[in-house]
Amino acid sequence: MLSTAARVLIPSATAFILGIGFAPFLAGTLYRAKAWKKKSGKESGIGGGGTPIFNALHREREVSTPRMGGMLIWASILATAFLFWVLARTLGSYWPLLNFVDRRETWLPIFALASGAAAGLVDDFLEITEGRDGLPLIRRLAIVGTIGLVGGWWFYTKLGVSSIGIPFAAPLPLGWFFIPFFALVTLTVYAGGTIDGIDGLAGGVFSIIFLAYAGIAFGEGQTQLAAFAATAAGATLAFLWFNIPPARFYMSETGSMALTLALTMTAFASDTIAHGVGVFILPLVALPLTATVATTLLQVFWKKIFHKKLFRVAPIHHHFEALGWPAAKVTMRYWVITIIAGVLGLVAALAARLP
């Protein structure tokens, strides 16, 4: 009989191995297709106006490094899920124990991952073929918001969830407002996906965050959800292997949208449905994403109210680049911060479950 830990770790290792094996084929295909931006930089930033500092920092790499590398992540996750789902239905023995496709725990994270991957792939394709910024921001937000509403509806009507967990207190009831709240959290986490901007940064941050949620779900007895989160971490680590500077390819929208949507669903799945506080601690566990959203909003606010910038460039990881920090220093310090935040979030989540 497989131990519970093995049921979590084996899918994670499988996704990593599949990702490592798939990467050379993906990289070769993307380079042959010249799947990179045809014009470096961004045409405009959030809030309007150009982005000259960002464009200067990333002038060369954006027109020589392929995008769509996020396909490595979601393809490895989905392939792992499908593999163990098939083995569970065709073979006996311990294979059913490794199947983490579960209606209550992982259907929504898997659905969100696949939906975000598809929408992001369209965005990336338009960006590299038409030489523009891909899908308009309003359309991407509409897609993400719709997926958030579907997720909130599913939790509310199918799983009977209408509250969020509060540490050391009774859950906060939201009633029907749970559905728009779910969508709002989904949009906020998606906004944090703009952390994908420096070689190795997003890959390291997301792998650590998903590892933390794997630990949280494991501590709550949600083996399938823990296996999914660990599988996401394993696949992202495989991507990171090839994204460490100099990156072979970028995660881009197909990866960041898939991961942020899956992360939101994972956080809600580890909340009141498991007598946990997965949503409450999300800003802590995903601290770099929180900082990304907060500093971007602060920059827009500062420019509108005071008519000057608060940071040299937002999000703040690019501000550090503009100050002269080497990109590798920014990346590795973000990894350290994410590890600390993830451990603190894990401790807080498990402590909140104590009687």
95-129 pLDDT per residue, tens? 889 999 998 899 999 999 999 999 999 999 999 88
Question: Is 47 a residue whose pLDDT tops 70?
Answer: no
Residue 3's pLDDT is 84
Residue 94's pLDDT is 81
Cβ atoms of 278 and 349 within 8 Å: the answer is yes
DSSP letter assigned to residue 62: G
Question: Is 67 a residue whose pLDDT tops 90?
Answer: yes
What's the gap between Cα 83 and its chain centre? 22
CA angle 339, 315, 231 (to 5 degrees): 40
Question: Is 28 a residue whose pLDDT tops 80?
Answer: yes
- Quote the CA–CA distance of 281 and 127 in Å, as a whole number: 35
* pLDDT-based confidence at residue 298 (cuts at 50, 70, 90): very high
Cβ atoms of 195 and 292 within 8 Å: the answer is yes
What percent of the chain has a predicted confidence (pLDDT) above 70?
A: 92
- What domain range includes position 236? 4-351
Residue 119's pLDDT is 97
- Quote the CA–CA distance of 37 and 124 in Å, as a whole number: 9
| Ramachandran category for residue 41: left, alpha or beta (phi over 0 → left; psi -120 to 50 → alpha) | left
Go through the chain and tell me how many residues it has: 355
Question: Is 18 a residue whose pLDDT tops 60?
Answer: yes
Number of domains into which the chain is organized: 1
Residue 353's pLDDT is 76
Which one is predicted more confidently, 223 or 62?
223
- Tell me the range of 22-26, 39-43, 53-57, 310-314 where mean pLDDT is highest: 22-26
Residue 53's pLDDT is 58
Type of residue numbered 105: E
Residue 134's pLDDT is 83
Question: Is 42 a residue whose pLDDT tops 70?
Answer: no
Token pair belonging to 33: 């297709």
Residue 51's pLDDT is 60
pTM of the model: 0.94
Residue 264's pLDDT is 98
Residue 257's pLDDT is 97
* pLDDT-based confidence at residue 225 (cuts at 50, 70, 90): very high
The DSSP line for 149-185 is HHHHHIIIIIS---EE--TTS--EE-GGGHHHHHHHH
3-class DSSP state of 34: coil
Give the number of other CB atoms < 10 A from CB of residue 331. 22
- Which residues, 6+ apart, have CB-to-CB distance to 124 below 8 Å? 35, 67, 68, 134, 252, 253, 254
Residue 2's pLDDT is 73
Which one is predicted more confidently, 36 or 161?
161
Q: Which of 207, 262, 263 is nearest to 239 (CA)?
A: 207
Which one is predicted more confidently, 268 or 134?
268
Residue 56's pLDDT is 56
DSSP letter assigned to residue 314: S
Backbone angles phi, psi at 184, to 5 degrees: -65, -45
Residue 196's pLDDT is 85
Give the number of other CB atoms < 10 A from CB of residue 136. 12
Question: Is 58 a residue whose pLDDT tops 60?
Answer: no
- Quote the CA–CA distance of 223 and 230 in Å, as a whole number: 10
Tens-digit pLDDT profile for residues 228-259: 999 999 999 999 999 998 899 999 999 999 99
